[in-house]
Amino acid sequence: MEITKVAVIGAGTMGNGIAHVFAQSGFKVNLIDVNQGSLDRALATIDKNLSRMVAKDKISESDKDAALSRIQTFTDIKSGADSVQLVVEAVNENFDLKTKIFKELAEVTSEETILASNTSSISITKLAGVVKERSEKVIGMHFFNPVPVMKLVEVVNGLDTSDETYEVIENLSKKLGKTPVYVNDAPGFVSNRVLMPMINEAIFCVYEGVATPENVDEVMKLGMAHPMGPLRLADFIGLDVCLDILRVLYDGFADPKYRPCPLLVKMVDAGKLGDKTGEGFYKY
Ligand code: 3HC
């Protein structure tokens, strides 16, 4: 199957990054979000990130204009998704919301359309279960923030995902300049099963007074050559997103080793979500 047109659902950090890389790689993109303000902000972010690439001579001004011209925005799923060959869902990490969207997608898209989720931890098999008649077309396509920079796409098959669907997504990821890596369907896949316990443990270090956020991050940057310390990274990802993923791990494995640190829960309750709210472990 030749993919030329995709829909991306959700215009947040991941959604706008995903729309950016598809458009830059020559695909037509329908970016869908219920909130027009989010769509406008997403287009402004994509424009800014493409301009940054122009300034660094990675792409030309006309490449940038061409990429932007390939993106259209929509506030309803039907008009944005009914004529595409692939949908990448990138809404919040909320199973009920994803269920609602997948059910609608199964109704409005053609039987051939692949339904991919950028979920960072929710089981692909469980998501496919809500659209049983289409489950062989459901797959995990997990991108990393900042999407235009990070090379990885973690590709996850559900129990029923067909080999053909997998091959299309593997080849497509390469066309986007990414490296697809296959992992089996399990809570948090590989990326977040390894990353989130590290971030949670870094938060416990602050909670127990072992070190300040700055010093925890210095240890990991200078001692382990991480580009960002775990607490800076947690702010960058969003503390609410980190908490959601830890809860999926905690529930999915029924194992207390994934218990979210009480300090993380408190910060999310206080609305200190990191970069996006101007304050997390650091102030922005
Ligand atoms: N769009 C386009 N280009 C961007 C960009 C963006 N949004 N953000 C950064 N860049 C480019 C810069 O232009 C720069 O390009 P250059 O190498 O040609 O000069 C390059 O990326 C590096 O950026 P900076 O020089 O501004 O800053 P840094 O060197 O500090 O790098 C970083 C920034 C790439 C974010 C780096 O700190 C990093 O790799 N951090 C770790 C990020 C990470 O771990 N992401 C995964 C999060 S987990 C996730 O997403 C999964 C989810 O499920 C939770």
C-alpha 45 – ligand 1 centre gap (Å): 14
Q: Write down the pLDDT at residue 121.
A: 87
Round to whole Å and give the CA distance between 172 and 106. 21
Looking at the structure, tell me whether residues 111 and 23 fall in a common domain. yes
Of 149, 184, 219, which residue is a domain's last? Answer: 184
**87 and 124 part of one domain:** yes
| Same domain for 200 and 143 | no
Query: Residue 71: what pLDDT?
Result: 98
Whether cis (ω within 30° of 0) applies to the bond prior to 256 is: no
User: 207 and 241: one domain?
Assistant: yes
Residue 150 CA to ligand 1 centre (angstroms): 7
Query: Which of 137, 157, 184 is at the close of a domain?
Result: 184
Q: How far is the CA of 18 from the centre of ligand 1 (A)?
A: 14
| CA-nearest residue, atom 29 of ligand 1 | 227
C-beta 50 within 6 A of ligand 1 = no
Q: Which domain holds residue 217?
A: 191-276
Tell me the whole-structure pTM to 2 decimals.
0.95
pLDDT of residue 262: 98
- The pLDDT score that the predictor gives to residue 77 is 97
Q: Are 3 and 45 in contact (CB under 8 A)?
A: no
Is residue 281 in some structural domain? no
Can you tell me the distance from the alpha carbon of 48 to that of 43, in angstroms, rounded to the nearest whole number? 9
- Give yes or no for residue 150 CB within 6 A of ligand 1: yes
The residue whose C-alpha atom lies closest to atom 43 belonging to ligand 1 is: 145
**Count of domains forming the chain:** 2
pLDDT tens-digit map of 191-203? 999 999 999 999 9
Q: What is the mean pLDDT of the chain?
A: 97
The answer on pLDDT for 1 being more than 90 is no
Residues 157 and 87 in one domain: yes
Is the beta carbon of 237 within 6 A of some atom in ligand 1?
yes
Most ligand 1 atoms within 8 A of CB, residue of 20, 149, 226 to mutate: 149
Residue nearest to atom 20 of ligand 1 (CA): 149
Q: Render pLDDT for 56-80 as a digit per residue (tens, 0 to 9).
A: 999 999 999 999 999 999 999 999 9
| Co-location of 168 and 37 in the same domain | yes
Distance 228 CA to ligand 1 centre (A): 10
Residue closest by Cα to atom 1 of ligand 1: 49
pLDDT value of position 93 = 87
Tokens of 95: 């199973």
Residue 50 resides in a domain: yes
Are 114 and 139 in contact, with CB atoms under 8 Å apart? yes
% of the chain residues with pLDDT over 90: 98
* Active site positions, annotated: 120, 142, 154, 192
Neighbours of 145 (CB within 10 A): 16
Q: Which tokens go with 217?
A: 């991050």
Token duo for residue 280? 């997390």
User: Which of residues 184, 199, 217 is at a domain's end?
Assistant: 184
284 within domain boundaries: no
Rounded average pLDDT over 16-26: 98
Residue 61 domain-assigned (yes or no): yes
Ligand 1 centroid – CA 103 distance (Å): 34
